Structure 1
Amino acid sequence: MDFVELRVQAPRELADILVAELAEVGYDTFEDNDEGFCAYIGEGDFNLDNVAEIIARYEGIGEIEYDHRVITRQNWNAEWEKNFQPLIIADRVSVRAPFHPKPEPIEYDIVIMPRMSFGTGHHETTALMIENQLSIDHQGKRVLDMGCGTGILAIMAAQLGAREVLAVDVEPWTVENAADNAAENNCTNIECRLGGVEVLAGEAPFDIILANINRNVLLEDMHAYAALLPAGHPILFSGFYQEDLAKIEAEAQKHGLVFQSHRTKNNWVSASFLKQ
């Protein structure tokens, strides 16, 4: 399956609202830009009438323009390689492609080829999750990375000393890509598994859980994450806006997850919770 990229030009106050509306109809990845944002959905789930209906609700409030295109594996790779620049996060983590030189000195170096997967560290949610990971002791821990994308957070966990990492995603090419990236980074302790929360049935508890997905999935599956986390252990959430933090916190409390702190960037959030 390929993706459809929906490019929306809108004022910032409208862009945030439109992102929330599109998330409700299945868009699960968003990238901000200077003119608005891009939203991504599987080609089979794309419905132009849904988009037009959402946009029509806000006519007259601000100028909105939009168009879309199909992104195949081939042109996604070509475009990514053309535009991708190496990144430094928190002055400690380098994220680069194999064709970029390793910066010196750097504490952690992650090599990523995203193919059709999302999560290069350039999106606010990925960078915020990595910053939160840096503040958590991973040494010898068992880690779950839900919605693993490129596997970047799983690789970060392994480099921080995790003994075992399970990386899970619902898209087959994403799981394949995450496994390749794990191998590229010599992370032999990362298992990449296809599926959603159903593939966690029978799993032993995890010491740390990372879930960078989107608001709706987090709210729906939070009970499953909480059930796999022992008391006193952390879980990091991201993939939602600051105005959604209250909903995430309220649902977390139902399952014994206590809010600790959060980071924000361009209205995106990564929040840390602790199991009671």
Structure 2
Amino acid sequence: MSFIEVTITASPEYSEILIAELSELGFDIFQETDQGFQAYTEEDKFSEEALQELLERYSFAGEFPYQTKSIAKQNWNEEWEKNFEPLLIADKVSVRADFHPKPEGIAYDIVITPKMSFGTGHHETTTLMIENQLTLDHTGKRVLDMGCGTGILAIMAEQLGAREVLAVDIEDWTVENARENAERNNCKTLEVRLGDASVLQGEAPFDLILANINRNVLLEDMPVYSKLLLPGGPLVLSGFYTEDLPVLQEKATECGLSFQNSRSKNNWVSAIFLKNSQ
């Protein structure tokens, strides 16, 4: 399977808007550049006509030049290795590739090969989720990671002491990658499963649920998360913008969840909710 890389020139203000719009067109991986951003989607999901129509809708803001390139799945490592830099989150978590040396004096070390999966830690949402995870007790907990991408949050959960972790994603190549990364990090309690929220039917309750997806999926699946979350358990969400937080808070209230706090970076948000006691 091949992927399409679209490189778009846009200001930071419109990059955020266009990324949100492109996520509705099947693009699910984004990387910022000095001039704008790059977006990735599977080749069979790509429509240049739809892309042009989208950019035309925002022509009032000027032109958004773009270029497209086809990338074979097996060549993705070469692409990201050119620019992938080790990352330090909250002075505690190292996220690196296996060709980077392990840093000294850090509490947690995560080694990943992201391939075409989202979640290197460099995107604001992943960083924010990990920062929120560091504030929560994972010890002995059963944890769910929805939209797991590379599996970085699930790996973080195990390193924080979770007794059992289930990671779920809708893409088969992502599931394959997350399993590889789990093995690379010597995970013992982490299961990676292909599917969406429907594969959770019949699951035992979770102590903690992580979901870094996008606004629409979070709104659709929040009732499922709430049903599967033990009373008092945290639901940690990300993948949405500051302006989306109120509608997510409203939906959470409908689902028996109470808003606790949030953190943001470059207009991206991660929020923590708690399941109300029965």
* Normalised TM-score (structure 1): 0.96
CA distance in 1, matches of 2:158, 2:259: 25
The CA deviation at 1:153 is 0.4
Q: Look up the match of 2:44.
A: 44
When the two structures are aligned, how many residues end up with a matched partner? 276
Are 1:6 and 1:69, in contact at CA under 8 Å, matched by a contact in 2? yes
The CA deviation at 1:24 is 2.7
Q: Look up the match of 2:85.
A: 85
Q: Look up the match of 2:60.
A: 60
Are 1:143 and 1:166, in contact at CA under 8 Å, matched by a contact in 2? yes
Q: Look up the match of 1:4.
A: 4
The CA deviation at 1:250 is 1.7
Of 156-165 and 249-258, deviating more is 249-258
CA distance in 2, matches of 1:108, 1:95: 9
Q: Within 5 A, what are the aligned runs for 1:152-171?
A: 152-171=152-171
CA distance in 2, matches of 1:19, 1:84: 21
Structure 2 gaps of 5+ residues are: none
Q: Within 5 A, what are the aligned runs for 1:196-207?
A: 196-207=196-207
Q: Look up the match of 1:239.
A: 239
Q: Look up the match of 1:173.
A: 173
Aligned: 1:251 with 2:230: no
Q: Look up the match of 1:264.
A: 264
Residues 18-51 of structure 1, C-alpha deviations (whole Å, 9 max, x = no match):
2222223332332233212222222211111111
Of 134-143 and 263-272, deviating more is 263-272
CA distance in 2, matches of 1:68, 1:246: 36
The CA deviation at 1:188 is 0.9
Of 16-25 and 123-132, deviating more is 16-25
Of 68-77 and 183-192, deviating more is 68-77
Of 94-103 and 126-135, deviating more is 94-103
Are 2:29 and 2:117, in contact at CA under 8 Å, matched by a contact in 1? no
Structure 1 gaps of 5+ residues are: none
Q: Look up the match of 1:95.
A: 95
CA distance in 2, matches of 1:75, 1:213: 25
CA distance in 2, matches of 1:258, 1:3: 40
Are 1:8 and 1:37, in contact at CA under 8 Å, matched by a contact in 2? yes
Residues 154-202 of structure 1, C-alpha deviations (whole Å, 9 max, x = no match):
0100000000000111111211111111111111100011111111010
RMSD: 1.3
Residues 73-97 of structure 1, C-alpha deviations (whole Å, 9 max, x = no match):
2221111122211111000001111
Q: Which amino acid aligns with 2:223?
A: H
